[in-house]
Chain A
Amino acid sequence: MNNFRITVEELPELETEVAVSGAVKQQEVVGPVCLGILVGVICGM
């Protein structure tokens, strides 16, 4: 433990990778608008 330093980038990621709110990997086919995400995005602007 003495002088043991950790570089965050070397720490493991979760097996379930979770992107930031509103991010998508593929184009979405046309479905329900996610109001929760939209509200968050707008509030953050």
Chain B
Amino acid sequence: MIVGKDLRNWLADRPRQRATEAAIEAFGSEWGLGQVHRHFDEAFSAIAAPTAEKIADAARALFVDEGWVDALVDGLAARLHADPYFRPPFRPLTTDIHSGLLVYEHPLVSIAAGISTAVQIAAKKNAPNRGATSVGFNGQYCVFKFVKAGGARFSFWEAPPITAGFTATEAGRCERTGERDIADGEILVIDGRRQSYVVERLRGNMLILQAAIAVDQAPVSVEYDSADGNFVGCSAVDDTASRIQMITTVLRKLDCDAALPAMADLLDHPDFFVRWHVMREMLGLDVRAALPHLKRMAATDPHPDPRRAARAVLDRIEAPAGKQQAA
């Protein structure tokens, strides 16, 4: 690594490093206690009986005035100009096509500001040996504001709604519904449970605000093949679901019987795949303790997949001893 003289000096200068850290903390504190943040808090906290649609309306209203974005970017630029080692006090959200910052977090909604460049999009679209591609439905209601649209042209796609009862066999197909240019300042509401878009063209940089709504989200995000529209696969929307699955597997591998009551509580989790995963781990820990829960799942789980899987295991357990061994 080649380290410039100024960086070398900064790395050796503890008081200067502390000054940088203090500036970062001060900016975060000013933003968190500032007028914009307070205005956002008031807007979202005032929503009675929040639904995705109501939260989207509030986000859309907040996105109309983009003065706060200018003020935020100007503030960050001024700090960086004064100290090149200043870092924005926000979580970075970086993918191969997007560089963003998570600037606002509320239990109902997260707001990010970020940039996708024409170079990033072109590199992604023209990558060698790219293979088959998918259109993704992210399972979340989102509001986008294209502060600078960069001459973008989007195609729009729709699929059957992703609900709590989503199954692969009834996922259906996605269809392209249209294509148009995106204007600077345009606000777009995408219900990621049934809608998506694809960037077909980008001539410059796209500055995007995105509000991702945490209420009424689907259990899974879904991929459809971009060529034929057929279902490809799905993954958990909420990373908490995946963490629960991993933790319960660890508990079973550790033979942690004491965790069974807590695991039983997770059998009421809203995501069908979490419920079945927990059931499997409980069965691995203690069949006798898990059996009443297995019977209940086989009879009453609201999703057909866990019901069917639980029934199959129950049949195996209740089979005569000779048949159990043969199974």
Q: A12 with B198: in contact, given A18-B234, A35-B142 (CB under 8 Å)?
A: no
Contact with A along B10-36 (1 / 0, CB 8 A): 000000000000000000000000000
State which residues 17-34 of A face B: CB under 8 Å: 17-34
> B80 at interface (Cβ–Cβ under 8 A)?
no
B221 x A37 contact (CB < 8 A): yes
B273 x A18 contact (CB < 8 A): yes
> B7 at interface (Cβ–Cβ under 8 A)?
no
What range describes how many residues of A lie at the interface?
35 or more
A28 x B223 contact (CB < 8 A): yes
Contact with A along B198-221 (1 / 0, CB 8 A): 110000000000101010010111
A26 x B223 contact (CB < 8 A): yes
Q: With the chains together, A5 CA to B100 CA distance in Å?
A: 50
CB < 8 Å neighbour of A20 from B102, B225, B235, B312: B235
Closest chain B residue to A34, Cβ basis: B138
B192 x A21 contact (CB < 8 A): no
B196 x A32 contact (CB < 8 A): yes
B235 x A24 contact (CB < 8 A): yes
A31 x B197 contact (CB < 8 A): yes
B239 x A40 contact (CB < 8 A): yes
Q: A25 with B233: in contact, given A6-B283, A30-B198, A33-B114 (CB under 8 Å)?
A: yes
B237 x A29 contact (CB < 8 A): no
A29 x B198 contact (CB < 8 A): yes
Q: With the chains together, A38 CA to B91 CA distance in Å?
A: 10
B112 x A35 contact (CB < 8 A): yes
Closest chain B residue to A25, Cβ basis: B233
Measured between beta carbons, the chain A residues less than 8 angstroms from B309 are 11-14
State which residues 87-114 of B face A: CB under 8 Å: 91-93, 95, 97-98, 100, 102, 110, 112, 114
A29 x B226 contact (CB < 8 A): yes
A19 x B226 contact (CB < 8 A): no
Q: A38 with B95: in contact, given A19-B234, A30-B198 (CB under 8 Å)?
A: yes
B134 x A42 contact (CB < 8 A): no
Measured between beta carbons, the chain A residues less than 8 angstroms from B127 are 27
Q: With the chains together, A18 CA to B256 CA distance in Å?
A: 25
> B296 at interface (Cβ–Cβ under 8 A)?
no
> B272 at interface (Cβ–Cβ under 8 A)?
yes
Measured between beta carbons, the chain A residues less than 8 angstroms from B142 are 32, 35
**Which residues of B does A touch, CB under 8 Å?**
91-93, 95, 97-98, 100, 102, 110, 112, 114, 121, 124-125, 127, 130-136, 138-140, 142, 144, 166-169, 190, 192, 196-199, 210, 212, 214, 217, 219-221, 223, 225-226, 232-243, 245, 252, 272-273, 276, 280-281, 283-284, 287-288, 291, 305-306, 308-309, 312-313, 317, 324
